[in-house]
Amino acid sequence: MTIQQIQNLLQYLGYYTITVDGIWGQGSEQATRDFQKAEGLEADGDPGKLTQAALVDAVAKGRFKPQNITQPENGTSAEDDIWAESKYFVRAEFACPCGRCGGFPVEPAPALVRVSNQIREHFGRPMIPSSGVRCQAHNDELPGSVPNSRHVSGRALDFSIPGVPVADVLAYTRQLQTAGKLHYTYEMVGTGHVHIDVD
């Protein structure tokens, strides 16, 4: 397994939160150590065969990073982590679905996660994300998407709320836009989905 592949898997699972660059450094070692601790392996930071096998198994079975593991490489802890704060969503719901980029070429913006929780709280019904983070390649494949889409920078979400008319959802998201909590919002005509994005 290459360093880049290891970084991609660690990133998908929520351990590695900096740029996937194929270079083994302190951030990669700390992410590996955190993963090893969570998996009950020797936490030496070395991605040997046992660790690589555990990574593949964790991805296959959806064992994402527990929220009580710190991330020293970016200075955050569980208390500061937007996913520890998030009441209704987990990181995986915002992942790019292309299957090639590891799901998170960028992290979802904390402001996007916060306002998504606010919308979900307001309607009191499940809110189903259909498109969050996109890698540039996946974004470019989608009909009607623009190259500088805010999805590519982790600042946009398309979603539906089953049982709530799109007009009602749009009316509320427009209130949030007026209040400065959203950059832009619109109905994705004919899909039953609403788009939101943040600055």
The domains located in the chain, with CATH, are: 1-80 (1.10.101.10), 82-199 (3.30.1380)
Measure Cα distances from 71 to 80, 95, 141 in Å. Answer: 10, 19, 33
Q: Using CA atoms in the order 48, 58, 154, 68, what is the torsion angle rounded to 10 degrees?
A: -90
Let me know: does 130 contact 106? Beta carbons within 8 Å.
no
Record the pTM: 0.62
92 HSE (CA, 13 A, CB side): 12
Q: What is the pLDDT along the chain (199 residues), one digit of tens a residue?
A: 999 999 999 999 999 888 888 999 888 999 999 999 888 889 999 999 999 999 999 888 888 887 544 444 444 443 348 888 899 998 989 999 988 888 899 999 999 999 999 999 999 999 999 999 999 999 999 988 899 999 999 999 999 999 999 999 999 999 999 999 999 999 999 899 999 999 9
Let me know: does 41 contact 51? Beta carbons within 8 Å.
yes
> How is residue 67 written in tokens?
């929220």
- How far apart are the C-alpha atoms of 94 and 164, rounded to whole Å? 21
